[in-house]
Amino acid sequence: MPIKVQKPTPDMIQEMKKLPTWSKEPSVFDWQYDAEETCFLIEGDVTVTTEAGEAVSFGAGDLVTFPRGLKCTWTVRRPVYKHYRFG
């Protein structure tokens, strides 16, 4: 399953805003997803590159879903502030 980027509906945004937040300064780091994650970016500019070399970019206003088992590298170009949910 690939990384999915979409524009959320107003209802989706309201639901995501009830969830915890995470922030990260500009940086590059490796990550592996032990569970599916869905996040809504309030701020930020990011490119995630999979082990297969697929690069997916997203930013403020995007709803992003990462599949369980994904191994990737995050390149954070502008500070990230997001709401997130695992599972």
Domains and CATH numbers, the chain: 4-86 (2.60.120.10)
Report pLDDT for 67.
97
Residues 63, 6: Cα–Cα separation, whole Å: 5
pLDDT digits (tens, 9 = 90+) for 23-77: 999 999 999 999 999 999 999 999 999 999 999 999 999 999 999 999 999 999 9
Phi, psi for 60 (deg, rounded to 5) = -50, 135
Residues 10, 47: Cα–Cα separation, whole Å: 25
Report pLDDT for 27.
98
Given a cut of 80, whether residue 14 has pLDDT beyond it is yes
Contact 47, 75 (CB under 8 A): yes
Strand positions, DSSP E, 36-70: 37-50, 55-59, 63-66
Contact 68, 36 (CB under 8 A): yes
Average pLDDT over residues 7-34: 98
Residues 86, 6: Cα–Cα separation, whole Å: 17
Report pLDDT for 85.
98
